[in-house]
Amino acid sequence: MPEERINMYKDYTVTDFLHDALFRKWVIDPDAETENFWKSWLEQHPERREIPERAREVLLIIGFDEYTPAREEQEEVWSRIKYTIQQPGKRIAAMNVWRYAAIFSGLLLMAVAGIFIYGRQQVQYATVYGEVKTIILPDKSVVRLNANSVLRHRRYWLWESRREIWISGEGFFTVVHKQNHQPFFVHTTDVDVKVTGTEFDVNTRRTKTQVVLSNGAVQLDLRNDGHPLITMKPGQMVTYSAATNKLDRKDVNPSDYSAWRNNMLVFTETPIAEVAASLEDNLGLNIHIEDTTLQQELFTGSIPMDDAEIFFKTLYRSFHVRIEKENKNYSIRRK
């Protein structure tokens, strides 16, 4: 393809792509030439990828049989409109011109409506026990989604006043700051997390929300009118439950709470009951500890998410317990 054409597409809008014959052929009836051209173009202009992708999706929405005037026809339509206005006796011709203009305008409205409706549809990601997934958001922010978690967001944020995420489970967020200062929100059952450019972990398990801030700043709007906004600083953890109205805030080592991104669970003087709960949430184990005093014993150490047996071996050696196992069910009691 000529270099001029490659450069020409740099300034194309969604509407321009919708009316381009080469682009439509690529979407509707691709061949080796069009595939190679658009693959090359997208590689050379990654910053523009979102625009042709939106145009492609619009074509898929409105269907291939819809008539869309070519650029030359558009120019002809408007030239004829202008000419007819200057020649007042030709009403029949004017009616035909306005008919074409109406078709053209209607298709544009359909395209815009299609983009808007499609863009507001929600995309959902889910992980199973033991699975960790990396998600690239529409603004190029990144979420590392932990096991047994669900994340939702609208497909596009271009027309939204703010970027919004809904999460159940656990995720680590690396948020890109936008030049237009478009705010970023993470919603859980208990809190709304307002973010600038930052890194933080959100865990919504066990009827509470836990937020650990690594870098930047976030504000927490608790879903309870009795609490003011909470502004967090790096190295802080805030835990809140709307069900119990219990709020806790303390300084922590953030890397311990996001070690799952490297397939590890890290604990520092953590009650064994909480360690067991974490293994249940992440790996789908069912752990029953009969002795309540044993539940409150403290555990410090790292557990690989692909080798949880290390935890049980440590309990066996350190606390002299008896462990019975059947599939993913564990029963632990003192000897």
Instruction: Decide whether 122-256 matches 263-334 in CATH topology.
Output: no
223-239 per-position pLDDT tens digit: 876 788 999 999 999 99
113 Cβ partners below 8 Å, 6+ apart?
none
pLDDT score of 5: 58
- Burial pattern 212-240, b for ≥16 Cβ within 10 A else e, equals bbbebebbbebeeeeeeebebebebbbbb
Q: How confident is the model at residue 120 (pLDDT cuts 50, 70, 90)?
A: low
pTM score over 0.95: no
pLDDT score at 78 = 45
Whether 167 contacts 151, CB under 8 Å:
yes
Look-up of token digits 């009118």: 225
pLDDT digits (tens, 9 = 90+) for 170-200: 999 999 988 778 899 999 999 999 997 799 9
Tens-place pLDDT, residues 4-48:
555 667 778 877 777 777 888 888 777 888 888 888 888 888 888
Q: What is the per-residue pLDDT for 105?
A: 57
Reference 210, options 166, 232, 240; nearest CA is 240
Task: Give the pLDDT of residue 312.
Answer: 94
Q: What is the second-level CATH architecture of the domain 263-334?
A: 3-Layer(bab) Sandwich (3.55)
pLDDT of residue 177: 86
User: Residue 99: which pLDDT band, with cuts at 50, 70 and 90?
Assistant: low
What number does CATH give the domain 122-256?
A: 2.60.120.1440
Q: What percent of the chain has pLDDT over 70?
A: 78
Domain locations along the chain = 3-119, 122-256, 263-334
pLDDT of residue 211 exceeding 60: yes
